[in-house]
Structure formats: C-alpha cells, structure tokens
C-alpha cells in the first residue's frame, strides 16, 4: 500500500466521521436517533417495505432494526403488519404521524447538510460526485483482483442499496 493511498484513505475516513457526527448532532435535536432518522428518511414518500428491505436500504442490522422499530412504533411513527403471503415477513410503513414528522424534519435536515457544501461550486460537486461514484464502484462485488479478499457482507449490502431505486 502506498503512502499516497493511505493519506487518501485517512482523509476519506476523517471526512466521513465529520459528516456522520455533524448529521447525528442535528438529528438528535429533532428528537430522533440517527437510526430512527434513517428509517424515517427511507420510509418517507414510500408506501412501505418489508423489514428485510428496510434493513438492506438502511444498513441497520436486524437486531438493531427491531429495537429501532419498537421505539418508533411506541411513538406512533411506524406500523408493522404481517404479510399474508409470507407470515415470517413484516411490512413496515409510516403512520400519518410518521409522515408528518418526515415532511417536517427531512427537508430541514437536508438543508442543514447542504449548507456544509456551499463552499463547493457546481463544477466541484460534479467532480466530487464522479470521484465518489468511481471509488464506490471499486468496492462493488465482483471487483476483486487476484490476491485480494472478497468484499465484506456490509460492502455488498451498500452496493445493493446503491442499486435499489
């Protein structure tokens, strides 16, 4: 591994950690935990989805997702219903209260995050988008060179979530 690549990896990790901390601090002021916001944002403007789909799109583990949904359900933000055709699966959707909360907090949080990008002009954002897309593609399943290990399950989940509409 080259020193140059390590420098980039450190900068990427530092940028991600700063972004995550900044986002989480704002989300907490909205009365939500980051995983609860993730569920709310994922279910917003959707008719709902199974727990499995929700876990894949949010990258929240099954055990954690159950607790997050329990707390959100107790607050009246989501409902869970068994599926007729597969009793092992549960369908999750926002309740009217959850939809109202989504409509209130999602646009505000998106503006809050976008404010941090104001130092970048359109060309900078285009270049950054392109570089991030190319970087993410290098972690896609099937992009394994001889002598490398296969992507982790979490990396494969990220790739699957990126491909989902």
φ, ψ of residue 3 to 5 degrees: the values are -60, -35
Q: At residue 155, does pLDDT exceed 90? A: no
Residues paired with residue 49 on neighbouring β-strands, in sequence order:
92
Query: Among the CATH numbers 3.50.50.60, 3.20.20.70, 1.10.10.10, 1.20.58.100, which is that of 3-119?
Result: 1.10.10.10
- Reported as a single tens digit per residue, the pLDDT across 49-85 is 999 999 999 978 888 999 999 999 999 999 999 988 8
pLDDT at 63: 86
Q: At residue 150, does pLDDT exceed 90? A: no
Q: At residue 143, does pLDDT exceed 70? A: no
Single out the residue of 35, 32, 34, 54 nearest to residue 43, CA to CA: 54
- Reported as a single tens digit per residue, the pLDDT across 78-93 is 999 998 887 778 999 9
């Amino acid at each position: 591994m080259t020193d140059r690549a390590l420098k980039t990896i450190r900068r990427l990790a530092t940028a991600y950690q700063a972004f995550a901390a900044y986002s989480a601090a704002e989300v907490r002021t909205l009365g939500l935990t980051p995983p609860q916001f993730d569920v709310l944002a994922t279910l917003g403007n959707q008719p709902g989805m199974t727990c499995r789909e929700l876990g894949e799109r949010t990258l929240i583990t099954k055990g954690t997702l159950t607790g997050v949904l329990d707390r959100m359900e107790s607050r009246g933000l989501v409902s869970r219903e068994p599926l007729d055709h597969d009793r092992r699966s549960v369908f999750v959707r926002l309740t009217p209260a959850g939809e109202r909360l989504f409509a209130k907090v999602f646009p505000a949080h998106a503006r809050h995050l976008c404010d941090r990008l104001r130092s970048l002009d359109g060309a900078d954002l285009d270049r950054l988008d392109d570089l991030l897309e190319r970087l993410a593609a290098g972690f896609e399943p099937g992009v394994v060179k001889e002598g490398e290990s296969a992507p982790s399950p979490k990396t494969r989940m990220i790739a699957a979530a990126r491909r989902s509409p």
